[in-house]
Structure 1
Amino acid sequence: MTKKRTIGVVLFEDFELLDVFGPLEMFGIASDHFHINMLGKSNIPIASKQGPKSVVDSTYDAPGHYDILLIPGGQGTRREVDNCSLLDWLKKQEPHSEYVISVCTGSALLAKAGLLNGLRATTNKRSFDWATRQGPKVNWQQQARWVEDGKFFTSSGISAGIDMSLALIHKLLGKKTAEDIARRAEYIWNQDANYDPFARLSGTDEMT
């Protein structure tokens, strides 16, 4: 069996619950291939925007790197874009990661850290104006369920992170494995990265 890839999940107060646990359900079903590590600034459980807290496995200052970095969005990103310690940590971790993936406004943190400069990326369409202001050098995609550019996968709002995670599993383990995981989760996987009906509903696709 090949070596497990470690997934480092960046947590902060007021993260969006589904941004984290939607993707982790998909990766967790493939537990033979992925090891999940929840990260925080301290060992104190971190509350999501919806209330439930997540335990922290490792703090940011613990030694080590992660094959895949997962950055969620949520209301807390409005505060964390000004958290220089977190942004610096992301910049130090990114070169050691095979893939960096974000859900919703998590891409705003990557953009603010300068990691998406010159790359194509997307974000939550309901927060598109705010998120895109965090990275004026990013080639923001107004209509996309998720975007892959090099080692970076960025997805639109909330449930899009599940589709993106299955797309990464497809890339790493094959389409059949990704389809089997979606079937086990009884999830209808949208395999079209460009199919983004919520951009239309939010009016983002009408922006110039």
Structure 2
Amino acid sequence: MRASTLTTLLCSLPSAFSAPSQPPLTNTSALPLHFGLLLYPGFVALDAYSVVDILNTLSLEYSLAATFDVIAETETPVSTIPRASNSTFGQAVVVTATYEEYSASEKPLDVLVVPGGYDSRSAIPAAAPFIKVVYPRLQYVLTVCMGSFITAESGILDGRNATVSKVNWKNKMARARKEVHWQTPARWVTHGNIWTASGSASGIDMVLAWIGHVYGKPVADYLGYEYEFNRAKNATDDPFAEIWQS
């Protein structure tokens, strides 16, 4: 190898192995500004915050002029403990807006996050009608785990592809809304402006893929590096479908 070639290669090493730097947003047109997290008693914390914590970091690091509401049926703080449980171990989240406040007004809402829960069926009677009412004003709906079952009962998933956690898949499908095309294997599924993730941790993969779609792939990659998360970048990379025999 010629000395000049070796010198060129050696000089390239620092840049090739340097730490990643924060990339600029590659899409700055019509970005979502108003986010909401739909909560109900017994919600799964990781379902909710697998998405929300990454959105927190995105907003902080890029100084987004965005708003965020925790939306629930009533103003009472919402606990991770299901209503019928005798457990005393849980966390409660402060509600900043109710279903009625959004339903009865033109309050802007661009992205709605719907997590699953230990008692998601009890959430359907109030949450599903709310989702149906606000959906026309949304840019995106992001669901995690059983959040897709709640969302399905609003009717907005009819005729669309969607997924849910693979645990007890056959039992889930026995009571799933038949108008929805439920997918497995699938780490997450995108159909139009609705993104549905499988189990709790898959919400991280989904929201990073969504950030790549909306804000640019380099931004999503950078956030994944920050969280030191070995993300699945292929939506069908779903080993849990085989584990749970779905």
Scaled by the length of structure 1, the TM-score of the pair is 0.91
**Structure 1 residue 134: deviation in Å?**
3.1
Q: Which amino acid aligns with 1:16?
A: V
2:45 aligned with 1:17: yes
CA RMSD of aligned residues (A): 1.7
Q: Which amino acid aligns with 2:195?
A: F
Partner in structure 2 of residue 66 of structure 1: 109
User: How far apart in 1 are the matches of 2:32 and 2:132?
Assistant: 23
User: How far apart in 2 are the matches of 1:18 and 1:168?
Assistant: 18
Partner in structure 1 of residue 80 of structure 2: 48
* Structure 1 gap segments, 5+ residues each: none
Conservation of the 8 A alpha-carbon contact between 1:123 and 1:154:
yes
Distance of aligned partners of 1:8 and 1:127 in 2 relative to their CA distance in 1, 3 Å threshold: farther
Distance of aligned partners of 1:131 and 1:67 in 2 relative to their CA distance in 1, 3 Å threshold: farther
**Structure 1 residue 78: deviation in Å?**
2.3
Query: What SS does the corresponding residue of 1:118 show, helix, strand or coil?
Result: coil
2:187 aligned with 1:155: no
Q: Which amino acid aligns with 1:145?
A: R
Query: What SS does the corresponding residue of 1:15 show, helix, strand or coil?
Result: coil
Partner in structure 1 of residue 130 of structure 2: 89
Conservation of the 8 A alpha-carbon contact between 2:185 and 2:236:
yes
Percentage of identical aligned residues: 30
- Residues 100-115 of structure 1 mapped to structure 2, 5 A cutoff: 100-115=141-156
Q: Number of paired residues?
A: 202
1:120-155 deviations in Å (ceiling 9; x for gaps) = 000011143454423101111021000000001001
Q: Which amino acid aligns with 1:177?
A: V
1:81-140 deviations in Å (ceiling 9; x for gaps) = 3x1x32111101111100011000100011111111110000011143454423101111
2:55 aligned with 1:27: yes
User: How far apart in 2 are the matches of 1:94 and 1:194?
Assistant: 26
Moved more, 101-110 or 44-53: 44-53
- Residues 173-184 of structure 1 mapped to structure 2, 5 A cutoff: 173-184=215-226
Conservation of the 8 A alpha-carbon contact between 2:43 and 2:115:
yes
Stretches (4+) displaced over 3 A: 1-4, 129-132
Conservation of the 8 A alpha-carbon contact between 1:105 and 1:131:
no
2:95 aligned with 1:36: no
Q: Which amino acid aligns with 1:35?
A: T
User: How far apart in 2 are the matches of 1:130 and 1:77?
Assistant: 15
Match for residue 169 of structure 2 among 112, 122, 128: 128
User: How far apart in 2 are the matches of 1:127 and 1:15?
Assistant: 19
Moved more, 27-36 or 124-133: 124-133
Conservation of the 8 A alpha-carbon contact between 1:8 and 1:69:
yes
Distance of aligned partners of 1:102 and 1:131 in 2 relative to their CA distance in 1, 3 Å threshold: farther
* Structure 2 gap segments, 5+ residues each: 1-27, 82-88
User: How far apart in 2 are the matches of 1:149 and 1:4?
Assistant: 18
Partner in structure 1 of residue 36 of structure 2: 8
User: How far apart in 2 are the matches of 1:88 and 1:129?
Assistant: 26
Partner in structure 1 of residue 8 of structure 2: none
**Structure 1 residue 54: deviation in Å?**
0.9
